[in-house]
Amino acid sequence: MTDVPIPIKEAKTACRKRAFADRASLHGQVSPEAATAALVRQLKEMPGPSIIAGYMPIRTEISPLPALEALSREGHVVCMPQVVGPAAPLRFLQWSPEAEMVEAEFGVAIPKDAGEVVPDVLVVPLLAFDTDLYRMGYGGGFYDRTIEKLGREGRITTIGFAYDGQRIEAVPHEPTDQQLDVIVTEREIYHA
Ligand X SMILES: Nc1nc2c(c(=O)[nH]1)N(C=O)[C@@H](CNc1ccc(C(=O)N[C@@H](CCC(=O)O)C(=O)O)cc1)CN2
Ligand Y SMILES: Nc1ncnc2c1ncn2[C@@H]1O[C@H](COP(=O)(O)OP(=O)(O)OP(=O)(O)O)[C@@H](O)[C@H]1O
Annotated binding site for substrate: 56, 61
Of the two residues 40 and 53, which places its CB atom closer to ligand Y in the complex? 53
Q: Which does 66 bind (CB under 5 to 8 A by kind): ligand X, ligand Y, none?
A: none
Do 94 and 77 contact (CB within 8 A), yes or no? Answer: yes
User: Is 23 a residue that touches ligand Y (CB under 6 A)?
Assistant: no
User: Is 141 a residue that touches ligand Y (CB under 6 A)?
Assistant: yes
Q: Which range of residues in 42-50, 53-61, 71-79, 165-173 is near ligand X by CB under 6 A?
A: 53-61
User: Is 64 a residue that touches ligand X (CB under 6 A)?
Assistant: no
- Counting Cα atoms < 13 Å in the Cβ hemisphere of 111 gives 21
Q: Which range of residues in 114-122, 133-141, 154-162, 166-174 is near ligand X by CB under 6 A?
A: 133-141
Give how far Cα 10 sits from Cα of 1, 27, 119, 173, Å. Answer: 21, 26, 33, 11
Of the two residues 75 and 103, which places its CB atom closer to ligand X in the complex? 103
DSSP state of 181: S
Q: What contacts 40, CB < 8 A, 6 or more positions away?
A: 67, 70, 71
Q: Which does 117 bind (CB under 5 to 8 A by kind): ligand Y, ligand X, none?
A: none
What residue numbers does the annotated binding site cover? 12-16, 56, 61, 135-143
Collapsing DSSP states into helix, strand and coil, what is residue 142? helix
- Counting Cα atoms < 13 Å in the Cβ hemisphere of 29 gives 10
Q: Binding marks (x or -) toward ligand X, 13..42, rule CB under 6 A? A: ------------------------------
> How much helix, strand and coil, in percent to the nearest 5, is found in the chain?
30, 20, 50
Out of 2, 29, 31, 176, name the contact with ligand Y by CB under 6 A.
176
Which residues share a beta bridge with 167? 129
**Which residues sit at the interface with ligand X, rule CB under 6 A?**
55-58, 61, 81, 83, 90, 106, 108, 125, 137-138, 140, 142-143
